[in-house]
Amino acid sequence: MNPTQQTEKDKAEKLAHLRHTLAHLLAAAVLEFWPDTKNTVGPAIDNGFYYDFDFTTPVSEKDFPRIEKRMRELLKTWSEFTHKEVSEKEAHEFFKDNPYKLELISDIISRGEKITLYTCGKFTDLCRGGHIEHPSKEIDPHSFSLSRVAGAYWKGDEKNKSLSRIYGLAFSTKEELEAYVKMQEEAKKRDHRKIGKEQGLFVFSDLVGAGLPLWTPKGTIIRELLNDYVWKLRKEKGYQKVAIPHITKKELYETSGHWSKFADELLKIKTRENHLYAMKPMNCPHHTQIYAAAPKSYREMPQRYCETTMVYRDEQSGELSGLSRVLSITQDDAHVFCRKNQIEEEMFAVWDIIDTFYKTFGFNLKIRLSRHDPEHFEKYLGTPEIWKSAEDQLLSIINKRGITEYIDGKGEAALYGPKIDFITTDSLGRTLQVATIQLDFNLPKNFDLTCTNEKGEREQIVMIHCAIMGSIERFLSVLIEHFNGSFPLWLAPVQVSLIPIMEKHQEFAKRIYDILKMADIRVHLDDADENLGKKIRRAKNDKVPYMIVIGDKEIEANKVTLESRDHGQLGQIAPDELLRKLVAEITEKK
């Protein structure tokens, strides 16, 4: 770990302490206004904090101003946190009116842990610590705000009582809070669900079900273009397409190890003959069966299989959201079956593809080495020795690639091996995990995948898992919001909108249409019997990259007047020049 990482980590920890402190402050204020409320738990989260309460009278966002005001007043008096360890009896006495805290105390006892109480100002809470030591000095009273109230079950279990969760946003400074709020507002405007509907890219149907997007012709064009681009990059590196079904007998996952580790998330099917099948939640086990079907010589290695196909996971319906979380996930998946001495070259080839692909959209990439969590080894396949070897290899590859700064992702590995994850920031400044390369010694072992080496011996091989987009659905949700629906020319479902002003201009418009169509440019001729303003508004609303209005002037000059969505009026241009310009921009993916 290098110094940058250390500082980053310190900063993150301090922010978490600040947020957790504010959760205490929220509880203190709430209990002043509603003394018979039972407070339960209040952790720090990604963008702030929350606290869950059992209110006797309902609370709403209308109450936020006075709670916030009281929090700021109390903050001035919160000069220092103190804490003490107490006996079970003392703890029981202190929280005797709060059944939630009593339950938490029992949980602590049963885990054999110590009971600690933390106090600041006049407020004491059952807590394990993790606060800002001197809140009044160290917390900017305008660096936080309450954001919303929502229902939440006690201990997250829907069989338990429903509580009220008050969420707060909190950052190190007032400026950071304001920037976050502004970014959230912008993100709301750019919500891919909203833009997807406006532009008619995908739809959901109540009859088909939540989490199962149906792709319209326009949306399918974008999906196919993205996928074709990945395929073009892969083909140059020697990849070949394969094709597999979406189901399998459970025996495949018993051999791979998924059945024992992953069974809950599998969609299962029992046939009328009582055979048990599962829908595939990933493609690797199927792909091993293509590799394993015929013996391989070292001369045939590596084998690089790729396939864009849907996988299915039994997601909880409450977690489904737009394209970000779906039941039917389209993966642009690939698996390289190679010898150990080919790992480096193959991983660099994938890395090249990822670099080229993401650069096209203006994404800069950071690296995370996602390792296993040695304290929870039961979550993984294989032995500690195999994991060490694979993780060392990835680290060496990161170093050879000349990467000096990377994020250490302890516990972020896949079931079967460590990963190099690629992290980016979108145009709103949000951090996103995108592509991933995974190194896997375990599936080749479980499926006994080998090749015959130069000496005629059977040699165990390794697998590299490497999706470029990962899930096309999730990647598209990112792209839509990143571009705010203004897709670059090469991706836009409609690239040019041709608008004849009057009926007499239609013939010339049709000529231009035919010229562009011949070159496979996606052009829309808007010859509806409507006024010009309406047609122009339609093209602008649809964020069509180029608009061409055709009237007398254009016909006289045998030229067209070109307007760019991104650069405004570009003046008159001859039809053949137009064609050249568009084809060049599309080819260059500008």
**Least Å from the CB of residue 545 to a second copy:** 19
Neighbour tally for 245: CB within 10 Å = 10
From 110, 271, 364, 431, residue interacting with a second copy (rule: CB under 8 A)? 271
Nearer Cβ to a second copy (48/470): 470
Using the minimum distance from each CB to a second copy, give the nearer residue, 83 or 522.
522
Query: Is 246 among the residues that bind a second copy (CB under 8 A)?
Result: yes
CB of 556 to a second copy, least distance (A): 29
Set 120, 127, 284, 451: catalytic member: 284
Strands, E assignment, 282-405: 303-312, 328-338, 366-371
Judged by CB under 8 A, the residue of 109, 150, 179, 212 near a second copy is 212
Q: At what angle do helices 343-360 and 384-400 cross, to 10 degrees?
A: 60
167: amino acid identity, one letter = Y
Cα 121 from chain centre: 40
Taking residues 10 to 39 in sequence order and writing x for each that binds a second copy by CB under 8 A, - otherwise, the string is ------------------------------
| 240 in contact with a second copy (CB under 8 A) | yes
The Cβ-side half-sphere exposure at 58, using a 13 Å CA radius, reads 7
Minimum Å gap between C-beta 160 and a second copy is 17
Active site residue 445: no
Query: Residues 52, 125, 332, 333: which is the catalytic one?
Result: 333
CB-wise, 158 or 556, nearer to a second copy?
A: 158
Which candidate in 199, 331, 393, 495 is catalytic?
A: 331
Do residues 432 and 242 touch, judged by C-beta distance below 8 A? no
Task: State which of residues 81, 215, 229, 422 lies at the interface with a second copy (CB under 8 A).
Answer: 215
x/- map, 313-342, a second copy, by CB under 8 A:
-x-xx---------xx-x------------
- Give Cβ neighbours of residue 265 (< 8 Å, ≥ 6 apart): 281, 313, 314, 315
- Euclidean distance between the first and final Cα of the chain, in Å? 37
Which part of the chain contacts a second copy (CB under 8 A), choosing from 48-56, 288-296, 457-465, 546-554? 288-296
- Classify each residue of 560-576 as buried b or exposed e, where b means 16 or more C-beta atoms within 10 Å of its C-beta: bbbbebeeeeeeebeee
66 in active site: no
Exactly one of 128, 268, 458, 553 binds a second copy (CB under 8 A); which one?
268
Burial of 375 (0-12, 13-18, 19+ CB in 10 A): exposed
Helix 64-77 and helix 3-33: axis angle, to 10°?
A: 110
Is 264 annotated as catalytic?
A: no
465 is a catalytic site residue: yes
Separation of alpha carbons 344 and 396, rounded Å: 9
Residue 248 sits in the site that holds a second copy (CB under 8 A): yes
Whether residue 333 lies in the annotated active site: yes
Q: What whole-number distance in Å separates Cα of residue 171 and Cα of residue 177?
A: 5
Does residue 148 have an active-site annotation? Answer: no
Distance CA 137, CA 154 (A): 34
Dihedral of the alpha carbons of 518, 523, 524, 527, in degrees to the nearest 10 = -60
Catalytic residues: 284, 313, 331, 333, 335, 419, 465
Which residues would be at the binding site for a second copy (CB under 8 A)?
Answer: 200, 203, 205-209, 212-217, 219-221, 223-224, 240-249, 251-252, 255, 264, 267-273, 275, 277, 279, 285-286, 289-290, 292-294, 299, 305, 310, 312, 314, 316-317, 327-328, 330, 528
